Amino acid sequence: MLTAEGITKSFMGIHALSGVSMQVHAGEILGVIGPNGAGKTTLFNVLTGLYAPDAGNIFFEGRDITNLRPYRRVGLGLARTFQNLEIFRDMSVLENVMVGGHVRLSCGFWQSLLVTPGKRAEERLLRSQALELLALLGLADRASAPAVSLSYGDQRRIEIARALASHPAMLFLDEPAAGMNPRETELLAGLIAQLRKDLQLTVVIIEHDMNLIMNVCDRIVVMSEGRVLTAGAPHEIRLDARVLEAYLGEEIL
Amino acid sequence: MSAYVFHVLIMVSIFAILSLSLNIIVGFAGLVSLGHAAFFGIGAYASGLMMIRGMGFVPALFLAGLCTAALGVALALPALRVKDDYLAIVTLGFGIIVVMVLMNLEVTGGPDGLVGIPPAALLGTPLYSKPGFLALTLGFLLVMILSVYALKQSRIGRAWAAIRDNDVTAMFMGINIYYYKMLAFIVSSFWAGLAGSLYAHYTAYINPQTFGMHTSIQILSMVVLGGIGSITGSLLGAALLVVLPEILRPLADYQDIFYGALLVTMMVFRPQGIMGRVKITEIFGKK
């Protein structure tokens, strides 16, 4: 579904990614793990379009999207959340999710200016779908609250609802469990599995929480020093000596 | 009511159009602009020149708006490549350049400005009376309020609010941030141009000084005082900053001190302005 070939990206001479090739298959939940500085977030940023790679190509459903701007990728069905919470601070919870639905609306300048019936119908639909998404994520009763008033874990959920509002085919989650307690993480794992099932999503997750990764992922890509070290099913990764070595013998698995 | 009261109300409504138009750039889209009076001036000169050359008031008015919007695009094309402090400097420079051009072109009358601009006319009847002209400006203000409100409550308004909050995040919401920033400049400069046209036909005489730095800061003060991003705030800000100097006229020499003190007090005690939700530091202190 998504294929990256030979992605290289450096920042001021530092190779963040050197020749990363990977694939995301339709319908899977793929985990991307690796020690700090392995290039996971840079890979996410290249795949979602924040940076253009220095070399290499990215194909999404057969189409070359290497140089496509982020907003165009969202239109094609790629959506993401952020490692550092990036909710819109001046907006309510519902407004945040409605912004996420931007690409699904077609009203242009004149329809908005003249408040045409089509525009109004579109807005009503967006609002009701945003409320449904909030219900799905257990935030329905907080819809009109200022987004910043919610807890850390709930703000992560707003971000997921907001990303889902664009009706993506593929969802990138950048450390979704960061700052969550074990109970919240467990709920998150259940949620991710449920979303994949209900919305036919393909999910890519960067995460340090190995419980989440091992529980929810079908396949794992291990990165180290800007390269893909190995990829495989969780039980294979768990036993791979190279993976343990990459983590410098940290007992993480 | 005396003619003087009508004069003040006409100036309030013209400045309300200006502050509301600047609020689209600063308050809705969260961009910095320090040269807004230049758009006001371009509208005034365009309309004045066209009417002196025999064009009717209504076409001159709208053409002035469109010419100004075109200049808005011309400014936004290079200006939107930079952000924050740099954008402030580019718009500041734009304001200065426009005044210099108006000052030095022969067709604009140089430093003396344009004299003998025909009055506004509707259906062939010149509009000399102040109450009549006030009705005209209030009519435009009303149309503007409705249209700006409609945009604010739409997908476009949400995209602007997202960009104001965080333009990188906005990109990942599928928002073409360049397009929406450009749109803010176009809509804003169109209305500022209309305000310029109304002003030119009201005063019948314009000169470049009116459209310089001082006026740009004045319009920005209205937006900030009233409340960044708030429509009622812009109207209130314009009303206050047009009426207050009139009331303080006996203290003319100390007027600017009062002005400055008012703004400083606001910034300390209520940085989001009278009606606003967004603090000025979120627009001008962005990192």
| Chain B residues whose beta carbon lies within 8 Å of the beta carbon of residue A48 | 172
What's the pLDDT at B251?
77
B16: pLDDT strictly greater than 60 = yes
A178: pLDDT strictly greater than 60 = yes
Distances from the Cα of B62 to the Cαs of B51, B76, B119, B121, B140, in angstroms?
12, 21, 15, 13, 12
A100: pLDDT strictly greater than 50 = yes
- SS3 letters across B147-182: HHHHHHCCHHHHHHHHHHHCHHHHHCCCCCHHHHHH
What's the complex ipTM?
0.90
**Given CB atoms, is A103 within the 8 Å cutoff of chain B?**
yes
What's the pLDDT at A99?
96
Mean pLDDT score, B95-119: 91
Q: Quick one: pLDDT band at residue B1, thresholds 50, 70, 90? A: low
State whether A100 and B173 contact (CB < 8 Å).
yes
Q: Are B210 and B95 in contact (CB under 8 A)?
A: no
What's the pLDDT at A248?
56
Q: Within a 10 A sphere around the Cβ of B49, how many other Cβ atoms?
A: 19
d(CA A196, CA A170): 10
Q: What is the mean pLDDT of chain A?
A: 90
A251: pLDDT strictly greater than 60 = no
pLDDT 10s digits, B76-85: 998 888 887 8
One-letter amino acid for residue A77 of the chain: G
Pairing outcome for strands A29-33 and A202-206: parallel
A47: pLDDT strictly greater than 90 = yes
- Interface-testing mutation among A76, A87, A96, A109, with chain B (most B C-beta atoms within 10 A): A109
Mean pLDDT score, A130-139: 93
Q: Quick one: pLDDT band at residue B287, thresholds 50, 70, 90? A: very low
Chain A closest-CA separation from residue B286 CA (Å): 14
A42: pLDDT strictly greater than 90 = yes
Chain B closest-CA separation from residue A97 CA (Å): 10
pLDDT 10s digits, B263-279: 788 878 887 888 877 77
pLDDT 10s digits, B34-53: 999 999 999 999 999 999 99
Our measurement of the distance from residue B49's CA atom to the centroid of its chain's CA atoms, rounded to an integer in Å, reads 20
Mean pLDDT score, B201-223: 92
State whether B164 and A107 contact (CB < 8 Å).
no
d(CA A252, CA A212): 12
Highest mean pLDDT among B5-19, B103-117, B215-229: B5-19
As separate numbers, helices (DSSP H) first and strands (DSSP E) second, chain B gives: 12, 2
What's the pLDDT at A8?
93
**Given CB atoms, is B46 within the 8 Å cutoff of chain A?**
no
